[in-house]
Amino acid sequence: IQQLSNQCLSKDERDAYISLLERRMQHEPLQYIIGKWDFHFLTGLKIKKPMLCPRPETEELVELVLAEVGNLLRDWKEKRKMRILDVGCGTGAIGIAIANKYPAAVQVVALDVLPEAVDLSNENAEQFLSRYSAHGDSKLGVKSIYEAMLCSATHFTNNTTNTSRDLSKKKYKMNFDIVVSNPPYIPLKDMIDLSSDVVEYESYEALCGGVDGLNVIRDIVHRLPEWTFSSSLRAKHCWMEVDESHPRHLARWLSPGSVEARRCGVEYVESYTDFCGRDRFVKLRVS
């Protein structure tokens, strides 16, 4: 520190520093200015505009999912890896953090509607997971542990108008054991309350979930039975980060045994608070 305090900046260094200060004075997020951020046990996750900057609350979501993964692995008898679907991956933070904890035991598939998010997620996966490639298919490399693809929740389906019964023509491999998502969930009316460093820089589509904030969440709920379908009798769960107004809506809509829950094939289990005491996470069960 003493050495740095006596160091004189060159003109180029001074100009670069002033440029960074000016960007911050325009309320640009530090994560974009620095170009990386720490998340869970990932040090230096690459961050690029307009993907959402990883937040501490989302690390809590990762911990909830990791706890379930750990519990399942204690009695895991399948001759395959546990399959996890991450819907709306952004930087890849959630799925990569999960794969980083259990590289030999899980395979994460991640979805996003932004091409730049898919590219960044796969780039981050290479950075953090390439050392674990030996735990997967050597021909696939990191993709045997983590792969992001360009697709929305609505379009990630094999239920098309094609009447062929040939399973080889299925476009996507499903049979996921856990689904996790930090979807766009902010209600439209609340968007005006966001600070300028959020609303002027981060993707609007990744923030706003429609009038009530539930647009993408509804898409996820309706797709869950297909995504998790298998011959196993084991319960399949979906974990989501949501707006604090959502748990009571989901509890009412998907109340166990209700007509809507039976129609959707999904039941509400419970909600969890974040470290600020807000209802921030929900757990759903495919019934």
Q: How confident is the model at residue 161, as a pLDDT?
A: 61
Distances (CA, A) of 87 to 66, 130, 151: 16, 22, 9
Query: From start to end of 128-227, where are the E strands?
Result: 146-150, 178-181
How many Å apart are CA 266 and CA 257, to the nearest integer? 10
For residue 153, give the nearest of 124, 123, 176, 187 by alpha carbon.
Answer: 176
Backbone torsions φ then ψ of 75, nearest 5 degrees: -120, 25
> Coil, strand, or helix at residue 165?
coil
For residue 89, give the nearest of 128, 121, 125, 44 by alpha carbon.
Answer: 121
Asked whether 99 and 129 are in contact (CB, 8 A), the reply is yes
Asked whether 37 and 45 are in contact (CB, 8 A), the reply is yes
**Which two tokens mark 103?**
């590289």
**Which two tokens mark 126?**
């290479």
Report H helices in the chain: 2-5, 11-25, 30-34, 56-74, 93-101, 115-129, 196-199, 204-207, 215-228, 246-253, 259-264
Q: How confident is the model at residue 187, as a pLDDT?
A: 97
Nearest 5°: CA angle at 213, between 209 and 218? 85
* pLDDT tens-digit profile, the chain (287 residues): 677 778 888 899 899 989 999 999 999 999 999 999 999 999 999 999 999 999 999 999 999 999 999 999 999 988 999 999 999 999 999 999 999 999 999 999 999 999 999 999 999 999 999 998 766 566 668 999 999 999 999 999 998 765 445 444 568 999 999 999 999 999 999 999 999 999 999 999 999 999 999 999 999 999 999 999 976 778 899 999 999 999 999 999 999 999 999 999 999 999 999 999 999 999 999 98
